[in-house]
Amino acid sequence: MENDYWLDRWKHRDIGFHQNEINPYLRQYWQELHLAHGSEVFVPLCGKSRDMLWLCEQKHSVLGVELSAIAVHAFFEENRLFPHHMTSGKFDRYSANGISILCGNFFDLRKNDLAKVSAVYDRASLVALPPEIRKSYVYHLQNILPPATKILLITFDYPQSEMIGPPFAVSSDEVEALYQEHAEIQLLAQLDVLAQNQCFRERGLSQLQESIFLFTLH
């Protein structure tokens, strides 16, 4: 899946993956990370997620990375924030009210970009990537994060043959295989959610499961 795919979706406002409400699993399980106030939270492939506002309300600083400049500008405009803009390596950095977004390619991030990060919130990153990219994503992520970083991950699982992603189906077994060399893995919850998701029933799914994981990097 090329970068142009996501740039085109933002250009044409084809953003059904965007949630207007704060993710309920974020609200419910974030306390399991036991982060100190002031800790920096990284949100990969952040889009214009309002979850970043909630994290900021929890007294964290937030660092997102997003490929689409349309998404970045929309986040600040829709939330009436007036960001300071600067060039930072291969990224355009926009910052306001404790939230910074690096506009550019996730795979261009380096250790110094995430040196202050204590935790990662991944609701829409891993499931947005096709199988051939997910391994590279996890390998790069764990390479650039500080040791002992905590990761809250939310995934979908469903019969992949019933729907073309994204979001893609990511099984618990795949999550285990991707992260077992890099982190301590804890499954916080696994829920059958098809009944609550009409849009996925309309797309032909017979099963839909969401899983919430907590990782602590080695």
pLDDT tens digit string along 136-194? 999 999 999 999 999 999 999 999 999 998 999 999 999 999 999 999 999 999 999 99
Q: Is residue 60 part of a domain?
A: yes
* 18 lies in some domain: no
CATH at residue 70: 3.40.50.150
* Domain around 184: 3-13+23-217
- Taking the model in full, what pTM does it have? 0.96
**Cα–Cα distance measured from residue 165 to residue 133, given in angstroms and rounded to the nearest whole number:** 13
Question: Does a structural domain hold residue 130?
Answer: yes
Residue 203 included in any domain: yes
Q: What are the pLDDT digits (tens) for 64-101?
A: 999 999 999 999 999 999 999 999 889 999 999 999 99
Structural domain tally of the chain?
1
